[in-house]
């Protein structure tokens, strides 16, 4: 089946609300020609979400958050709930990014709980997985990814997979300028789809959208997204400027 191409910008801890306003105003116009040709989203920080939702309402650019807590409410200082995100009109939420795993103690278990919470509140999870350089060099990539996938989706029903995107981000490629080659990324994406087949069956695995992330730029997006099992990208640095993000989307869809 033909899967949609999905390009999302992960703004990480960048852009004040004023800067978000300017960038979203620019993207609203520059990305308009790609309506219907690809799913496109931006994921700003919590303080910029309402601004992004307000400016992008009614456009083809969706808005996502960068984290969600698993509890409905309560004594969890510094966290944000699904109800809070849903209320302001957020559609996607990034879960388990390697920076959260590395710096904030995120585990496969917390990724699983956050994924279930997002689904409960009608938010679409973008679940991040990926191996470190030491794991790749130690031939551990497949074992690491399989553990992350099985952990993230434990108890998640097959039907929910239609709302879930997987972002494969090799940790060694994030912000380093080192991209996995299209062949290397494709081999890993095909492996991820095989694990999904084991877990949920061929039809669900075939329909699953799997993004690549890690130094995806306007110049390499086309070759990466042209691969059979690569369905788009989760973009860091190149998503912070309207011209580079727009060029990347254009190249990824081959427009
Ligand atoms: P870069 O595109 O800056 O390498 O970041 C990738 C990423 O971590 C997206 O979530």
DSSP codes of every residue in 57-88? TTSSEEEEES---SSSSSS-TT---HHHHHHT
Question: For residue 187, is pLDDT > 70?
Answer: yes
The mean pLDDT value for 195-223 works out to: 97
How remote is the CA of residue 162 from the centroid of ligand 1, in Å?
24
Whether the CB of 235 sits within 6 Å of ligand 1: yes
d(CA 217, CA 64): 20
C-alpha distances in Å from residue 54, one per residue of 50, 65, 216, 236: 6, 14, 28, 22
Tally of CB atoms within 10 A around 65: 25
For residue 97, which atom of ligand 1 is closest to its CA?
Answer: 10
Instruction: Give me the pLDDT at residue 179, please.
Output: 83
Catalytic residue among 39, 69, 97, 186: 97
- Mind listing the domains of the chain with CATH numbers? 6-253 (3.20.20.70)
d(CA 100, CA 104): 5
Percent of the chain with pLDDT over 70: 100
* Residue 100 CA neighbour count, 13 Å, CB half: 21
For residue 176, which atom of ligand 1 is closest to its CA?
Answer: 4
For residue 217, which atom of ligand 1 is closest to its CA?
Answer: 2
Whether the CB of 169 sits within 6 Å of ligand 1: yes
Active site residue 97: yes
The mean pLDDT value for 16-26 works out to: 98
Whether the CB of 237 sits within 6 Å of ligand 1: yes
Instruction: Give me the pLDDT at residue 1, please.
Output: 58
Nearest CA to ligand 1 atom 7: 236
Active site residue 189: no
d(CA 210, CA 220): 17
Strands (E), the chain: 6-10, 39-43, 61-65, 92-95, 124-129, 165-168, 209-213, 232-235
Rounded to two decimals, what is the model's pTM?
0.98
Report residue 255's pLDDT band, with 50, 70 and 90 as the boundaries.
Answer: confident
Catalytic residue among 39, 99, 135, 169: 169
58-92 pLDDT, tens digit per residue, is 999 999 999 999 999 999 999 999 999 999 999 99
Measured in Å, how far apart are the chain's first and last C-alpha atoms? 21
d(CA 43, CA 56): 12
């Amino acid at each position: 089946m033909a899967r949609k191409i999905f390009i999302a910008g992960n703004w990480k801890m960048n852009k004040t609300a004023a800067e978000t306003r300017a960038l979203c105003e620019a993207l609203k116009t520059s990305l308009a020609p790609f309506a219907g040709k690809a799913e496109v989203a931006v994921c700003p920080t919590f303080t910029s979400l309402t601004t992004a939702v307000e400016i992008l309402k009614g456009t083809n650019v969706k808005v996502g958050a960068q984290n969600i807590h698993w509890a409905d409410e309560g004594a969890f200082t510094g966290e944000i709930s699904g109800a809070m995100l849903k209320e302001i009109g957020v559609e996607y939420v990034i879960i388990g990014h390697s920076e959260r795993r590395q710096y904030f103690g995120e585990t496969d278990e917390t990724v699983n709980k956050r994924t279930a919470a997002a689904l409960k509140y009608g938010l679409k999870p973008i679940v991040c997985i990926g191996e470190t350089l030491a794991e790749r060099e130690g031939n551990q990539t497949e074992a690491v990814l399989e553990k992350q996938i099985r952990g993230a989706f434990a108890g998640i029903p097959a039907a929910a997979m239609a709302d879930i995107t997987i972002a494969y981000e090799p940790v060694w490629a994030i912000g380093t300028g080192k991209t996995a080659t299209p062949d290397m990324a494709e081999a890993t994406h095909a492996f991820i789809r095989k694990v999904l087949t084991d877990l949920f069956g061929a039809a669900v695995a075939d329909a699953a959208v799997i993004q690549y992330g890690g130094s995806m730029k306007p110049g390499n997006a086309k070759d990466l997204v042209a691969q059979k099992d690569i369905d788009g990208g989760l973009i860091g640095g190149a998503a912070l400027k309207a011209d580079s993000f727009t060029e990347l989307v254009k190249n990824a869809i081959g427009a």
